[in-house]
Amino acid sequence: MALAQRFDLQQVRSDFPGLHVEVHGQPLAYLDNASTTQKPKAVLEAVRALYETQCANIHRGVHSLSAAATQSFEAVRTQVAAFLGASEAAEVVFTSGTTEAINLVASSYGRRALSAGDRVLVSEMEHHSNLVPWQLLCAEVGAHIDKLPLMLDGTLDLSQLDRLLTDRTRIIALSHASNALGTVNPVAEICARARAANVVSVVDGAQAAAHLPVDVQALGCDFYALSAHKIYGPTGVGVLWGQADLLRDMPPYKGGGEMINSVSFEESTWAEPPQRFEAGTPNIAGVVGLGAALKYLEQIDSADVLQHEMHLLARATEGLSALPGVQVIGAPPQKVPVLSFIVQGAHPHDVGTLLDLEGVAVRTGHHCAEPVMQRYGVPATVRASFGLYNTLQDVQRLISAVQSAQGVLT
């Protein structure tokens, strides 16, 4: 691997065509990166090249195009394993995103692990994708969900953790970083305490992977999920990493081609992981695009990027907090560059609409984290989230647009 280059903001911005469109006659300030990131030319070119020169199905063909597509696809599995610090590529399962990855664990591992009266511990800051699958599973088998409380500063109340890790708790589900608040959770500590109680940990890494180094072995988790589109890759692709011994004992999540060893009308037997969990034709071009995104990120000094993003977050937090009537939600000591706030006397959707008219793209709503909104007693927030290509000018335009919106709405 080549040494990463020092971070050059202007060069990076030139790599992302989507940043250079106009919205309502204004240059775009794209601050919705927690929802999805813009894509560099390297990713767009990799997807196009796959369809132009290697357009074939994978694994099952003996002809040259199929062999080339298979090689490209499986090379990304090795890339992802290295990105996550996995011990082997076979621990990497490709999915359609974080949502499917967590549903896979709930449906395959969870359905075997849970029985009536068992408990699943879920943090109060979770995205719906790491709550609803456990609700569905618990309702099916007669298990129960316990809540690891969220404190008003935006951190989890770990003083309650050991009490909640009961002898009937089988799974703990938590986010590495909150999509609504930006909170970075002490995942290694939580997973170690869970493991000591014989509880399996499922970590939603969708918001963390774009900003923080991820080493699943150092984190000590059992499952880790992420989405390509939040780390500058295509939509419709995600990753489930799982401990090899757990994956080997899990039944298939979906049935179809590729996930089998043999099939007869009497019975079927299953392929080894990860193919066991990858039924049907996958998003081949999307996976190749993910590989291009990871390669792109490897070429940039990640410490420089994180420092840049956190500087933007600090400036935005300072500037918005200084506006009378603007309240920042949560103040955890460790964050990814995500900032949620409300404007007193104005609904977040109205604020977001007025910001859009000035070319500033933010997210408004409950961010698929309604329990977080309920904890703070608000229906929704405005969320600004920063990526490696954002600038101080973007931050200033956000602050100015919020100030202008206040003049209209309050």
Distances (CA, A) of 181 to 54, 318, 353, 374, 385: 42, 16, 21, 13, 10
221: annotated active-site residue? no
In sequence order, which residues have a C-beta less than 8 Å from that of residue 384 and are 6 or more positions away? Answer: 31, 316, 338, 339, 341, 362, 363, 398
Tokens standing for residue 6: 């020092």
> Catalytic one among 138, 191, 221, 368?
368
Q: How far apart are CA 88 and CA 362, in angstroms?
A: 38
* CB crowding 208-244: b at 16 or more within 10 Å, else e: bbbbbebebeebbbbbbbbbbbbbbbbbbbbbbbbbe
**Please, how many CA atoms are within 13 Å of residue 161, restricted to the half-sphere of its CB?**
22
Q: Tokens 């937090």 appear where?
A: 317
**Residue 379: is the preceding peptide bond cis (ω within 30°)?**
no
Closest to 372 (Cα-Cα) out of 385, 386, 383: 383
State how far the Cα of 16 lies from the Cα of 42, in Å rounded to an integer: 9
- Interaxial angle between packed helices 392-409 and 348-357, expressed in degrees from 0 to 180 and rounded to the nearest 10: 120
Collapse the DSSP code of 361 into the 3-class scheme (helix H, G, I; strand E, B; otherwise coil) and give the result.
Answer: strand
R_g of the chain, CA atoms, integer Å = 22
- CA–chain centroid gap for 248, Å, is 25
Distance, in Å, from the CA atom of 342 to the CA atom of 327, rounded to the nearest integer, reads 5
Catalytic positions, please?
368
